[in-house]
A and B are shown apart, each in its own frame.
Chain A
């Protein structure tokens, strides 16, 4: 049913008078529907672009003086969050883990330094070593699942485990548009993307190993390069969204605000496990 709502049904040109009156009705209904949908999409765009400010306003409540903050990879939300705290004259230091193999951490470190924050770049392997001296871990998210779990850039599960061991709060910044009504079953496989191995291994150096061969016909060398990690809700201390701070166990209530009840029942062919298709399939109700 939702599909028919989004895709306007164009009437055939030649038809009987009944069809014509129906088409006249349909076109006005279609126009109204288009108008509503376009308005909704514009609102969504507005939300996405302004969520940074609303989240960053809450920065001052969570960052005190002389803090040490750890983050991994790069997220614009995190950047704005930290910058807002700095604007309010809080002094703190940031450890940025580089986030191989995309090395987004380098970008974030460059941005932070440009804005005047004291930044130290570390490798991802040094996270456990450093975290005992860190006060808070602040990260962005790719998506927030219905149970409060987070689909985050790869490596953040490791950081969350280390933070739990050292009792360091793990704070996830996510705009409300990242909320997803799906429950993550086997998220490492189903909700993940595997990227090109060339980011890890140079093809030229290892082309001999990548040959199919060795008799059985299967390659001896596999390269695994996942793009995302799943962080279970018990490792997350707090979600900071544009509507305020929430516990992971509360996130499912927000789904009712952003998704129509009709759409929470996920049908077989819709549930492909791809987040992008969810956005198109489900009606964004206000």
Chain B
């Protein structure tokens, strides 16, 4: 059915006329496939143009080829890569008050943020100036889609601003060629949306509400992606009205494709706009080529030296980023809270630049900070959910709020999120979990999870008699810190390493594990080694209880630990701290045949999990998609 719709709808979009009429024959196959599967990664790998987003209908091929050559020539303003991003955003400002982010929905930041606009480099051909003018005219329609539709009045005033800056833009075409390519991509999308808006505006104004409010769901700021599925799904669903918007919302639930690190061109582009200088590790495991791996030890001194060249970066954000990089903050909840508090500082210090909308500018800023965090350390899934929440709150700010009211409201929202979703949720989980601990129990835990630690301490305070077994593993050996804290509080503990878990499991009555995230197919995504512990517990018929706050649930699905993971520092494997006799691998780390693999996460299949304890209660792993669906929207619209 989608295919049939595609045949009727797509040509209308293509007749917009901002690309040359002699489009190459390869285009129809591409445009056909867009509405079919708005979020499949292979779209971006079409042979026509490797790094094009599916939304962007490519211009004629020969022009884009020329473009690729031109893009590789040095930029008119040579500068170190660290400055490139700030100066690029500065270029955007030079263009005038027209900020591509404004004409777009506030909630699709991956395209709107300055960082992701770089993806447009080398991808698009030059625009005819006629097309440019046409697009800017319709930009005001596109802007009607941001948040509430009473923004149209604001937008029309902005559209007036557009016209004023058109001429300088055109005049600067030659000098800001890469910039223009970015804006043309944004312009194109604006134009597309304008077309859709024009058609849908006549039909049903309420559709736009559905569109805009479902957009926040799509925010995945952790991805430096160049394929915006929200826009593509808009293209299809707005065709026919309300029922389409429902469908689009459902389709939006498919998570967007992530950054593909095995695609050299994308990695190069991502590197250009990166703040942190990362050199890729030399000896990479083939199986994990799709994940980033950088040389450790070089990033921290580099970032520290740049501390005073902070222009686009807020110091609180910089500090938290450095803490992530150094490993000082670890654990899902701690990272989330640190990030949210940094954002609170950002919001408090924020002042809207003139002639810019608070929502869009702030969202763009947040997106740039998020990409900085991602460079320091890849975001966890719970952090992704948190950022989505924040952006939806920003997008939902009533227009009647003044700037100080908006800032106060956002800070209050963040406080409320931390309080409700993390602190209070932990309390609820603890209360549920202690009902599962009985006198005489032997409880096993793996690694160091803050929730499990709180559960054990609380149960001990209640006077229950039980023993704890702490299973630990290399290279982080986090269990030792947990051991020290528990023994300090007077719990009787047994400490062992993960290889001995089969030995110790016959004494154990229950296993309590924490997790980084629980996915929609019931898979538990957590510290590497959790799957081994859960598997052995299952083999010995010991119940496994996962303690996880509901904000960590995610609509993704994962089958194994290879497709999505984080690669840690490989040198941590070869060095065994405290054991002088074990240094067999000192001279070997750079040999070609020798590779060191330090995985950070793994995926525990749902059949090993007996129960998940969340702040919504104690649920089986099969109920996770239900919670994501029913309550996932709730916290986005507190």
Which A residues fall within an 8 A CB radius of B?
A: 95, 98-101, 103, 106-107, 109-110, 112-113, 116-130, 132-133, 154-155, 157-158, 161-162, 165, 188, 192, 199-202, 205-206, 209, 214, 218, 220-226, 229-230
Q: How many residues of B contact A (CB 8 A)?
A: 58
A-B contact pairs, 19 of them (CB 8 A): A98-B474, A100-B474, A106-B582, A109-B585, A120-B597, A125-B473, A125-B528, A126-B528, A128-B531, A129-B599, A129-B602, A130-B561, A154-B503, A158-B535, A220-B487, A221-B483, A223-B495, A224-B495, A225-B500
* CB <8 Å contact, B599 and A100: no
- Check if B585 sits within 8 Å of A106, measured CB to CB: yes
Interface residues of B in 477-512 (CB under 8 A from A): 480, 483-484, 487-488, 490-504, 506
Query: When A119-B594, A120-B595 are in contact, do A209 and B494 touch as well, CB less than 8 Å?
Result: no
Assess whether B325 is interfacial by the CB under 8 Å rule: no
Q: Per DSSP, are chain B's interface residues mostly helix, strand or loop, or mixed? A: mixed
The smallest C-beta distance from A164 to any residue of chain B, in angstroms, reads 9
Give 15 A-B pairs besides A221-B483, A224-B504 with Cβ atoms closer than 8 angstroms: A101-B499, A116-B593, A120-B596, A121-B595, A121-B597, A126-B602, A128-B561, A129-B561, A199-B579, A202-B578, A218-B492, A222-B494, A224-B500, A225-B496, A225-B500
Whether B594 and A220, one on each chain, are in contact in the complex, defined by CB atoms closer than 8 angstroms, is no
CB distance from A145 to the nearest CB of B (A): 16
| Residues of chain B with a CB closer than 8 A to A109's CB | 584-585, 588, 594
Residue of B nearest to A155 (CB): B499
Q: Is B576 an interface residue (CB 8 A)?
A: yes
Q: Report the number of A-B residue pairs with Cβ-Cβ less than 8 Å.
A: 184
Closest to B469 in A: A224
B475 at the interface (CB under 8 A from A): yes
- Taking the closest CB of chain B, its distance from the CB of A131, in whole angstroms, is 9
Q: A270 to chain B: closest CB distance in Å?
A: 26
Chain A residues within 8 Å of B602, by CB: 125-126, 128-129
Shortest C-beta distance, B569 to chain A (Å), equals 12
Residues in B whose Cβ lies below 8 Å from that of A128: 529, 531-532, 535, 561, 602
Known: A113-B593, A188-B503. A129 touches B528 (CB 8 A): yes
A123 and B593 alpha carbons, distance in the complex (Å):
18
Cα A205 to Cα B287 with chains together (Å): 38
- Min Cβ gap A100→B in Å is 5
Query: Is residue B539 contacting chain A, with contact meaning CB distance below 8 A?
Result: yes
Give B447's nearest chain A residue, CB to CB. Answer: A125
Q: Name the contact of B562 in the complex, choosing from A118, A124, A129 (C-beta under 8 A).
A: A129
Give the residues in chain B near A199, CB-CB below 8 Å: 579
* Residue ranges of B at the interface with A (Cβ–Cβ < 8 Å): 285, 287, 472-475, 480, 483-484, 487-488, 490-504, 506, 527-529, 531-532, 535-536, 539, 560-562, 565, 573-574, 576, 578-579, 582, 584-585, 588, 591, 593-599, 602-603
Knowing A110-B584, A154-B503, A229-B502, the reply to whether A124 touches B474 (Cβ < 8 A) is yes
Instruction: Tell me whether A158 and B498 are in contact (CB under 8 A).
Output: yes
A222 and B495 contact, Cβ closer than 8 Å, known pairs A113-B588, A158-B535, A192-B503: yes
Q: Which residue of B lies closest to A115 (CB)?
A: B593
A220 CA to B472 CA, complexed, in Å: 17
Most buried by B among A107, A109, A126, A157: A126
B585 touching A123 by the CB < 8 A rule?
no
Tell me how far the C-beta of A132 lies from the nearest C-beta in chain B, rounded to whole angstroms. Answer: 5
Residue of A nearest to B587 (CB): A110
A222 contact set on B, CB distance < 8 A: 493-495
- Is chain A's interface secondary structure helix, strand, loop, or mixed overall? mixed
A191 CB to nearest chain B CB (Å)? 11
Q: Considering residues B495, B496, B503, B565, which has the most beta carbons from chain A within 10 angstroms of its beta carbon?
A: B503
Contact assessment for A220 and B599 in the assembled complex, using a CB-CB cutoff below 8 Å: no
Roughly how many angstroms separate A101 CA and B475 CA in the complex, as a whole number?
Answer: 12
Residues in B neighbouring A226, C-beta threshold 8 A: 500, 503
Q: Is the CB of A125 within 8 A of B498?
A: yes
Check B597 against A223 for contact (C-beta < 8 Å).
no
Residues A229 and B503 in contact, CB atoms below 8 Å apart:
yes
Please name the residue on chain B nearest to A102 by beta carbon: B582
User: Which residues of A sit under 8 angstroms from B487, Cβ to Cβ?
Assistant: 209, 220-221
Docked Cα-Cα span, A202 to B496, in Å, equals: 13
Whether the pair B536, A158 counts as a contact (CB closer than 8 A) is: yes
Q: Given A123-B598, A209-B483, A222-B495, is A118 in contact with B593 using a C-beta cutoff of 8 Å?
A: yes
Taking a contact as CB atoms under 8 Å apart, the answer to whether B578 and A221 are in contact is no
Within 8 Å by CB of A129, from B480, B497, B560, B582, lies: B560
A218 to B493, CA, bound (A): 11
CA of A219 to CA of B276 in the docked complex: distance in angstroms? 48
Chain A residues near B562 (CB-CB < 8 A): 129-130, 132-133
Q: Which residue in chain B gives the minimum CB-CB distance to A108?
A: B584
Separation of A34 and B473 alpha carbons in the complex (Å):
51
Chain B, Cβ-Cβ closest to A123: B474
